[in-house]
Structure 1
Amino acid sequence: MVSEYPIYTFPGANVSLSKLKELQCMSCSELSFYYGLAQICRSIEKISLMLFESNSGIAHLIEMQTRIKYLCVYVDDNDYGFKDKNESKKEQVSGENKHKRIFQALVKHADSILYFMLWIDRSFPFCLFPQLINLETLKLINDLGVEQRLFEKQLEMASFPNLQVLELTSISLSIATKIIENTNGNLWKVKIESSDFNNTIIYIRAIINYCPNIEYVSLFINNQNLDELKRLLISCQRLEGIELLIKMAENVRFMSEKFFYILVSLAPTSLYKIQIDLRIFSLKTLDLFFINWRGRKFLHLYPLITWRSTSDSLKKYEIEGIIKYCMDNSFWYIEKYEEIEWED
């Protein structure tokens, strides 16, 4: 519901709103509200779009901006119970993408967009990916389980020479690898949330070959790729934190002694944060690892799952100053990096 006196009609609105830099847009809001803002606002740089239905007012507002730099898009064409009051009968009959005009408006800003966060939906025009040539941060969330073939080709075609931060959720390692291979050595953070352990070797090789400046990375480890882990630790000398996701086939024992030997003997001196599920290791194996870590940088250890018996046994190594057992979610918090915040 829109007020009888919209904000852009208030005294002094021309001055105050002309300086607006950030806006959250919901397509279920009235068209007139966004058309009114578009008459005043030209300097919006950070915009969040929650799209449930067509809204030409949002499209017009986007078109009128000088340069959009930070973009977050959430699309849900199931409408969550919203009545699509703005969708024309022509759109309903033809099946035309109800957000087409909004997406067309975004193309105007493709060159200026530095940060892009997308909750993937079938209706999103994935042809926009190759046009985002100046991206520095790319975050893709596929929680809806959209078929990856729908956007895989466009991501393979895209080139992201300036990309520094890549975060993917529920997206295959093969697609992650293609994105990494289309960068230009500037990636320093790669965070992957996935249960996919296919193509782990080509993924690790992509990190080795295309990410000389990598500092934080998710690694998917099994017995078959331990030699690639060796190469990565030797090649990536700026590593500060690694998230280690270990998965073995049923009735196959993980080569934990070899794994920890590789970590101790080859980890760069810069490495001081590890996130890992400690439950798969015996206390004897962990004891040996921590003893061998003596003399290295103070190790911040983040358990993926807290296990009481393990945490109790590690206290002596904390007292000795070998490790710090971090029972929080701050592994991916990086002091030098100012995370872009979005309103819920």
Structure 2
Amino acid sequence: MSILNNDVLYLIFKEFRNDKKSLFSCLSVNKTWSEIIISILWINPWKYLKRGNEKILSNVIISHISDKSSERPLFNYISLCKHLNLNEIERIFYTHIQFEKIKNDIFNLFINQNTKYTHLYIPRKFDYEIHLIPEAKNCFSEIEFLSCDASIDENILIGLAEICKSIKELELFVQMDNYNYGITKLIENQNKLFKIHFIIKYTRNDNSFWKVFKSSLFKHTNTIKYFKLTEKSMERNFQKICILELGGNFSNMTLNSVEDLSIPFLRILKARDAPVKFLTNLIESSNGYLVEINIYYINILLTQKIDNNKIIQTIYQNCSNLKYLRLLFKSSNILELEKLLINCKYLDGLYIDTNLGTMDWKNLFNILTESSPISRHPMLLQFLQTGRMIKEYNDLIEKYKSEGVVKKFHYEEYSGDYFDEFEWIKVKKNY
């Protein structure tokens, strides 16, 4: 029975893994609780590391390699770890001690026969050949997530390609001229690649590299469902993508490259500064599967020129199953918003960007009241706006909350995160 109780406690505490404060508050309840919570915290200890506490964590790690048994920790914390974050390891040890003197000991401590990692993070210009450590095959054979920079030693990627063949999610950063052919070998060797995060910064076009790189990706066109990229080349081969995130500069994308682009099973679309034609083509080709659309503009010139009515029209004509929408709305869009509310009967969350002046709030809420189907639950609203302007209409918003038009209201001031989740679906999505 005690084993069952511990298993139940573990499942309960695991639900709080994103609530550091609650987990830490339960550490001192009793030994059983402490052991269970420690096993959860050490799955990814880097996640809970606060700036300024690096010395504490480095001391705990070093205690595992002490020759004196009296100095060793009560728990083998390292064996609990599932996330090997070499970025954080290098950062905390370079900050507090002479890392070069104990680098071998630290890497051999983490790469051991008793630990199997699911997540691996490799820093820029990393050149320590971790794949040659004897226990590496055991440690990395079940890696599901890899984050790395194209500037790391090519031999490391080639070595990992022979060990890691079950990567589901790949996050790749490419800087100026970091054309690493080892990454293509790694991609080719995967059996279950599902998500791609492709972040390109300050690169010059190297057609030979991109040709080989894209060729390695094409092998996974049937399995990749999530694609995030920050360059303006969008391949037509990935038609089975369900989630597409475009976070780069797409304002100069040529129409020829997108006019016949089709992603028929797309369910979630996130885009920053993408041209109207590109967006409308994607939305039209989604066959009504889209349930979330998050479109954001930081380019002021684009916000002034954009034909927002065209985007709104395309949405309500093609997205009858839409649940959540984030979009720039102008005063001139009110009538189209009314049509959107009528046609998108399942719309549950609306995130309004109003960075081009004041919104006619009274008219907006009248539209929400008159155009929303009677059967629909009250709307969840979130605004990107200055606090001063929102506060002026606080009484009006409270009025519509009391009348059941608005269920939950949240506003935030301008931030640098262009793809903030809708406040009410940050914890869990049901689709």
TM-score of Structure 1 vs Structure 2, range by shorter chain: 0.7 to 0.9
List runs of 5+ in structure 2 lacking aligned partners. Answer: 1-125, 415-419
2:217 maps to 106
Q: Tell me if the contact between 1:55 and 1:99 (Cα under 8 Å) persists in the aligned partners.
A: no
- Give the structure-1-normalised TM-score: 0.74
Q: Which residue of 2 aligns with 1:148?
A: 252
Question: Would the aligned equivalents of 2:144 and 2:167 in 1 still touch at CA under 8 Å?
Answer: yes
Whole-angstrom distance in 1 between the partners of 2:334 and 2:262: 30
Name which of structure 1's ranges 98-107 and 160-169 shifts more when overlaid on structure 2.
Answer: 98-107
- Ranges in structure 1 where 5+ consecutive residues have no aligned partner: 80-90, 307-327, 340-344
Contact 2:382–2:422 at 8 Å: present in 1 too? no
Deviations 1:81-135 (A, max 9, x none): xxxxxxxxxx9xxx645443222211221221100011226xxx43x2x111111
How far residue 172 of structure 1 moved from its aligned partner, in angstroms, is 2.9
The CA deviation at 1:202 is 1.4
* Structure 1 equivalent of residue 364 of structure 2: 259
- SS of alignment partner, residue 179 of structure 1: helix
Q: CA deviation at 1:136?
A: 0.7
Distance (Å, rounded) in 1 between the aligned partners of 2:355 and 2:207 = 43
Give the aligned partner of residue 177 of structure 1: 280
Sort the Cα spacing of 1:334 and 1:212 in 2 relative to 1 into closer, same or farther, 3 A: farther
Q: Does residue 115 of structure 1 match 2:226?
A: yes
> In 1, Cα distance between the equivalents of 2:427 and 2:321?
17
| Greater RCO, CA 8 A, separation 6+ | 1
| Contact 1:111 1:134 survives alignment (8 Å) | yes
Summarize the alignment of residues 127-146 of structure 1 with structure 2, pairs less than 5 Å apart.
Answer: 128=235, 130-142=236-248, 145-146=249-250
Which amino acid is the alignment partner of residue 164 of structure 1? R
SS at the partner of 1:29?
coil
Q: Choose from 37, 46, 49 the match for 2:160.
A: 37
**C-alpha distance in 2 between matches for 1:229 and 1:61:** 46
Look up the equivalent residue of 2:180 and give its one-letter code.
N
Q: CA RMSD in A?
A: 3.0
Give me the whole-angstrom Cα distance separating, in 2, the residues matched to 1:45 and 1:21: 5
Distance 1:134 1:337 in 2: 20
Equivalent residue, structure 1, for 2:330: 222
Residues 180 and 271 from structure 1, CA distance in 2 versus in 1: closer, same or farther, beyond 3 angstroms? farther
Aligned-partner residue type, residue 69 of structure 1: F
Which letter does structure 2 place at the counterpart of 1:185? Answer: G
Q: Secondary structure at the match of 2:259?
A: helix
Cα offset, 1:260, TM superposition? 2.2
How far residue 210 of structure 1 moved from its aligned partner, in angstroms, is: 1.2
SS in 2 for 1:156: coil
1:336, distance to aligned residue in structure 2 (A): 3.3
Q: SS state of the match for residue 237, structure 1?
A: coil
State the 1:22 CA deviation. 1.6
Aligned residues between the structures: 290
Change (3 A) 1:146 1:304: same
Q: Looking at CA atoms only, which structure, 1 or 2, has the larger radius of gyration?
A: 2
Is 1:190 matched with 2:297? no
Deviation of 1:254 after TM superposition, in Å, equals 5.3
Return closer, same or farther for 1:96/1:288 CA change in 2, 3 Å cut-off. closer
**1:47-86 equivalent positions in 2, closer than 5 A:** 47-52=170-175, 53-78=178-203
2:425 aligns with 333
**Aligned residue for 1:275?**
382
Instruction: State which drifts further: 222-231 or 157-166.
Output: 222-231
Find the aligned partners of 1:12 and 1:248 in 2 and give their Cα distance: 57
TM-score of the pair, normalised by structure 2: 0.60
For 1:19, what is the secondary structure of its paired residue? coil
| Structure ranking higher in helix proportion | 2
Paired with 1:74 and 1:329, the residues of 2 have a C-alpha distance of 19
| Residues 1:71 and 1:332: Cα distance change in structure 2 (over 3 Å) | farther
The aligned residue for residue 314 of structure 1 is none
Q: Equivalent pairs: percent with the same residue?
A: 24
